[in-house]
Amino acid sequence: MGHTTNPAIFDGHNDVLLKLFTAGQATAAERFLTGDEGAIDLPSAKSGGFGGGFFAVFVPSPMDADKTFAEMTKDAYDLPLPDPINWEDAFPIVMSQAAILFELEKQDALTVCRSAKEIRRCLDSGKLAAVFHIEGAEAIDPDLNTLEVLFQAGLRSLGPVWSRETMFGHGVPFRYPSTPDTGSGLTDHGLRLVKRCNELGIMVDLSHLNEAGFWDVARYSTKPLVATHSNVHAICPHSRNLTDKQLAAIAESNGMVGLNYAAAFLRPDGKMLSDVPLEEMIRHLDHLIEALGEDRVGFGSDYDGAVVPEALKSSAGLPKLRAAMRQHGYDDALMTKLCHENWLRVLEETWGA
Ligand SMILES: [Zn+2]
């Protein structure tokens, strides 16, 4: 079979909104449109065939990301969970980052998509497709009124926790080597959150839950199980990665996993260092395909939120990833599934047609 297609990559996770927010909201749209030093901006996305993805809104903890990443270059590490963040502190930050997302839409840089059909239309026309995602539910109140309003505004995906405790559950700490089984799971508030997300059509993201929380969602959620940006524990025994038992549950639910480009979750030695050959990503993809089947694997880059392989530092480098996949023998049909078709399938199943 000839390799004629060059499928756009729709991606399960990026932190570009946090990056734009941190550098200053007033000039955020301008910087995104003209291009800057980050992994994703409009010119890089266009040139690399980055078709869009989940744009995370995220409230950072005071501990500086560079310091965290430096700690994660050691042979072994166990970062303490950052302190919980109050609703009062989280809410305005979430509103600011969401406002940046809608400003990007107003400036015609992207479309905020609320259905799989809208994403497909974007991929066909070359318009960047964005799904409004919140990573860590600190800005959601216990009565879930904010959830209702955010859904009406376009929220379609939510992680009950980042690697930090919320009233809804317990996040998994960054620990290597470690199983993901690091503590207790969802609270009663968390179970109600999952139920309401199911009813509204908001995808529940498993990526930062510990193993107990994962199994709680698996038990209570009526939708396919999805980890937007996580990798294979059997290859890289990091607390953030998924065991084969978890992968089996995801397969059974007809869910999916987005491959995270973060070096610490790819490299067998767990180090957040960018000298990672693309073959290491292919190894994870092969394992995910073996465990989940061809229809349940995609990408979830963690762009602008992690140290990634040197070759993929910018989304403009994505043709190198496609070339590595082809060289490994993935045919056109599989390429298209991994690059975006599987995400469209899961989102249609989760949100409804
Ligand atoms: Zn994350």
The pLDDT assigned to 64 comes to 81
pLDDT of res. 66: 87
| CA 26 to ligand 1 centroid distance, Å | 25
Question: Could you tell me the distance, in angstroms and rounded to a whole number, from the CA of residue 66 to the centre of ligand 1?
Answer: 15
Distance CA 57, CA 49 (A): 23
CA of 229 to the centre of ligand 1 (A): 7
> Distance (Å, rounded) from C-alpha 66 to C-alpha 69?
5
CA of 59 from ligand 1 middle (Å) equals: 11
Distance between Cα 162 and ligand 1 center (Å): 7
Number of CB atoms found within 10 A of residue 141's CB: 13
**CA 2–ligand 1 middle distance (angstroms):** 36
Residue-wise DSSP of 42-74: HHHHHHHTEEEEEEEE----SS-HHHHHHHTTS
Residue entry with tokens 């964005």: 130
For residue 208, the CA-to-ligand 1 centroid distance in Å is 6
Ligand 1 center–CA 260 separation, angstroms: 9
Ligand 1 midpoint to CA 118 (Å): 25
Q: Rounded distance, CA 302 to CA 228, Å? A: 9
* Secondary structure element (H or E) that encloses residue 158, with its range: strand 155-159
pLDDT in tens, the chain (353 residues): 444 579 999 999 999 999 999 999 999 999 999 997 789 999 999 999 999 999 999 999 988 888 899 999 999 999 999 999 999 999 999 999 999 999 999 999 999 999 999 999 999 999 999 999 999 999 999 999 999 999 999 999 999 999 999 999 999 999 999 999 999 999 999 999 999 999 999 999 999 999 999 999 999 999 999 999 999 999 999 999 999 999 999 999 999 999 999 999 999 999 999 999 999 999 999 999 999 999 999 999 999 999 999 999 999 999 999 999 999 999 999 999 999 999 999 999 999 98
Please name which of 146, 136, 258 lies closest in space to residue 190, comparing C-alpha atoms: 136
Question: Distance, CA 315 to ligand 1 centroid (Å)?
Answer: 18
What whole-number distance in Å separates Cα of residue 208 and Cα of residue 204? 11
Question: How many Å lie between the centroid of ligand 1 and the Cα of residue 303?
Answer: 10
Output the CA 51–ligand 1 centroid distance in Å. Answer: 20
| Residue 133 CA, ligand 1 centroid: distance in Å | 11
145-158 pLDDT tens trace? 999 999 999 999 99
d(CA 116, ligand 1 centre) in Å = 22
32 contacts: CB under 8 Å, gap ≥ 6: 16, 20, 41, 42, 104, 109
Choose among 178, 243, 236: nearest CA to 214.
243
Per-residue pLDDT tens digits for 183-232: 999 999 999 999 999 999 999 999 999 999 999 999 999 999 999 999 99
Give the residue carrying structure tokens 């004629």.
4
| Residue among 278, 303, 287, 196 nearest 250 (CA) | 287
Could you give the residue ranges of the DSSP H alpha helices within the chain? 16-23, 28-34, 42-48, 65-71, 87-106, 116-125, 145-153, 188-200, 211-220, 244-252, 263-266, 278-292, 318-327, 332-336, 342-351
pLDDT for the residue 4: 53
Ligand 1 centre distance from Cα of residue 3 (Å): 33
The predicted structure's pLDDT at residue 37: 73
| DSSP bridge partners of 130 | 53, 112
Quote the pTM value. 0.97
Total residue length of the chain: 353
* Centre of ligand 1 from the C-alpha of residue 272, in Å: 14
Distance 231 CA to ligand 1 centre (A): 12
CA of 313 to the centre of ligand 1 (A): 17
Cα of 228 vs centre of ligand 1, distance in Å, is: 9
Ligand 1 midpoint to CA 137 (Å): 13
For residue 282 the two structure tokens come to 């292919």
User: How far, in Å, is the centroid of ligand 1 from the Cα of 29?
Assistant: 23
d(Cα 273, Cα 258) in Å, to the nearest integer? Answer: 20
In the reported structure, the alpha carbon of residue 4 is separated from the centroid of ligand 1 by a whole-number distance in angstroms of 33
In this structure, the dihedral spanned by the alpha carbons of residues 73, 76, 80 and 85, taken in order and rounded to 10 degrees, is: 40
Q: How many CB atoms lie within 10 A of CB 140?
A: 27
Q: So what's the pLDDT on residue 2?
A: 43
